[in-house]
Structure 1
Amino acid sequence: MLITCLFSLPILAFAQGKTAPSFRIVPLGVLGGIDESNLSAYMVAPVGSDNYACLDAGTLHAGIEKAIENKAFSVRGDKVLRQYIKGYFISHAHLDHVSGLIINSPEDSAKNIYGLSSTLETIKTHYLTWESWANFADDGATPQLKKYHYSVLQPGTETPIDNTDMQVQAFPLSHSNLTSTAFLVRSKGSYMLYLGDTGADEIEKSQNLHKLWEAVAPLVAAGKLKALMIEVSFPNEQPDKTLFGHLTPRLLMNELDVLAQLSGTTLKGLNVVVTHLKPPYRSISKIKTQLNYANKRQMNLVYPRQGKPLEF
């Protein structure tokens, strides 16, 4: 069984040597939990392009500086923030997914904030207001500074990402008491799938993940899904009643069994990027051990590191 862990150079994963990579992903933050310098945010662009979408925005400045330190970018951080990031895709409005966007907004440039209507409504009415922060958007509390534009995504409808050559579809996910989002990003004929926080269907009493797997199963079967980015927040010992809409290694593997069945494949070699591991670090180590042990399908499990670019 081959299990690849990500610790240094960019990895050309899945069928290394068979096809050229389609996507470049720069993790600006990879964890859940209390480390405000390393929270969920991933820049993604077609290989060879500097026109990125940012999937969630828990950490921006610290992550960009880390990426520059790791030579992921050869320009200043303000250029990455203002020119390379063309828009934000917010899976849900919990602070560990939006705080970087809010804090960096005074130094940012004009761009779109994409999300489901419920997510954007929370940002508009709770964060980008004059009570909690300045309103840098073109909607909501007055005066409106009109730097950001809210772009509502309709579930299942492919939408162009402005100022990039990529398109995106949004799919709702169940995250305890609110709706989170999965973003299916397309570049030409290749796809990558990013999931915000999500619980398992069996725990959430939901069919959201099953519907998502149905939608992407043909892409898996055709070898067009280059990477699946999905959270695992807790080890298997976490009681169901305190999962709060998150996954464990056991629950993730159960869900991927469903994807394998629907796609008619073994998933061998599928790039699965494990996100949102929650400190303490002894728990993170346990999660990785449990995932590696449970990886009977021989998927390529990737544990991203902040500022270290990936290519798929």
Structure 2
Amino acid sequence: MRFKLITILFLLSSIGGFTQSTFKIVPLGVLGGIDESNMSAYMVAPAGSNNYICMDAGTLHYGIEQAIKNKVFTIPAEQVLKKYIKGYFISHPHLDHISGLIINSPDDSTKSIYAFANCINIIKTHYFTWTSWANFANEGEMPQLKKYTYQVLKPGEEIDVANTTMKVTAFPLSHSNLTSTAFLIKSNNSYLLYLGDTGPDEIEKSNNLQALWQAITPLIKNHQLKGIMIEASFPNEQPDKTLFGHFTPKWLMTEMTGLSKLTGADALKNFNLVITHVKPPQVNINKLKAQLKADNSFGFNLIFPVQGKELDL
């Protein structure tokens, strides 16, 4: 009987009827403001591992506490922070993406901060200084406490993440007057794409998203990309002139149309699209979710992450 069960599982796996999660994601913060207890931060690890990286770090401690309440973690919050998070990937230096890292730094363990040079420069000169906080990093104002080591990322260059089995490639994004970042995470032969704040190429007068879609098209066609984590901040009623480098459902689906022209529409059916950075109030959140569902002509598997609840892709 046991042999028959193993045979059935193998056959299901071989025809795509049985899928196994590759990544586990623990959302520590999912909103785009104004709730300081729930701002952008996502722990990501390969399935079966507790060696996580944190994609942005707006909220850390409270999000970890919520995950503990949901039985995602069985060790104290301070140990999750120190032992499980192996490094921070910061998409851009806005406070809703980095304040948790700054506030928790006195109780954190030694690890790296990965970001583009312009982002690291702002962290170095505005946050980890002895006038605004303390310099817990290895560069900048003296004395340098050297808890964190800055790792400068270069566009399109894959790097090994220390103390994990993952690799990450960074791509530039346009976010109003700032450069933001998309992080392509690799575990074995599978990938996950996380985008920091950004807006549509047409509004941003950019081709960064088009270049990103071209880069990931082969991964979608080969079923290696397990999902895209991308922001949608405002409902469609938000005027284009006040988007400030963000998406509405209409503009997000416009970009997905561009992606579908590269991949073919069939490749996006049931593809995981994880919606991040939704901005309160709740009436806007409800409206935005309804608009995304109504405009989902591609048949995406729309996922709205919940703080502290593990998501497996």
Q: TM-score range by the shorter chain?
A: over 0.9
Tell me the amino acid that sits aligned with residue 100 of structure 2.
Answer: G
Q: Secondary structure at the match of 1:132?
A: coil
- TM-score normalized by structure 1? 0.94
State the structure with more CA Rg: 2
Q: 1:283 — aligned with what?
A: 284
Q: Is the 8 A contact 2:41 2:55 kept in 1?
A: yes
Matched, 1:310 2:311: yes
Q: Is the 8 A contact 1:138 1:145 kept in 2?
A: yes
Measured after TM superposition, the shift of residue 265 of structure 1 is 3.9
Distance in 2, Cα, partners of 1:16 & 1:48: 21
Tell me the amino acid that sits aligned with residue 176 of structure 1.
Answer: S
Q: 2:241 — aligned with what?
A: 241
Distance in 1, Cα, partners of 2:124 & 2:43: 23
Q: Secondary structure at the match of 2:197?
A: coil
Q: Is the 8 A contact 1:221 1:265 kept in 2?
A: no
Matched, 1:24 2:24: yes
Tell me the amino acid that sits aligned with residue 85 of structure 1.
Answer: I
Residue by residue over 1:189-215, the C-alpha shift from the partner in whole angstroms, topping out at 9 and shown as x without a partner, is 000000000010010010000000000
Q: 2:230 — aligned with what?
A: 230
Distance in 2, Cα, partners of 1:17 & 1:120: 44
Task: Compare relative contact order (CA 8 Å, sep 6+) and give the higher one, 1 or 2.
Answer: 1
Q: 1:184 — aligned with what?
A: 184
Worse-superposed segment, 261-270 or 219-228: 261-270
Matched, 1:61 2:61: yes
Q: 2:35 — aligned with what?
A: 35
Distance in 2, Cα, partners of 1:28 & 1:295: 26
Matched, 1:172 2:172: yes
Distance in 1, Cα, partners of 2:17 & 2:117: 41
Q: 2:273 — aligned with what?
A: 272
Distance in 1, Cα, partners of 2:50 & 2:310: 13
Measured after TM superposition, the shift of residue 180 of structure 1 is 0.2
Tell me the amino acid that sits aligned with residue 225 of structure 2.
Answer: L
Which protein has the bigger helix share? 2
Q: Secondary structure at the match of 1:228?
A: strand
Measured after TM superposition, the shift of residue 264 of structure 1 is 2.6
Distance in 1, Cα, partners of 2:143 & 2:16: 52
Measured after TM superposition, the shift of residue 16 of structure 1 is 8.7
Q: 1:115 — aligned with what?
A: 115
**Number of corresponding residues:** 298
Measured after TM superposition, the shift of residue 119 of structure 1 is 0.6
- TM-score normalized by structure 2? 0.94
Q: Secondary structure at the match of 2:217?
A: helix
Tell me the amino acid that sits aligned with residue 90 of structure 2.
Answer: I
Tell me the amino acid that sits aligned with residue 159 of structure 2.
Answer: T
Measured after TM superposition, the shift of residue 248 of structure 1 is 0.3
Q: Secondary structure at the match of 1:57?
A: coil
Structure 2 alignment gaps of length 5 or more? 1-14
The ranges of structure 1 where at least 4 consecutive aligned residues each deviate by more than 3 angstroms after the TM superposition are none
Tell me the amino acid that sits aligned with residue 236 of structure 1.
Answer: N
Distance in 2, Cα, partners of 1:280 & 1:210: 31
Measured after TM superposition, the shift of residue 17 of structure 1 is 5.1
Measured after TM superposition, the shift of residue 141 of structure 1 is 0.5
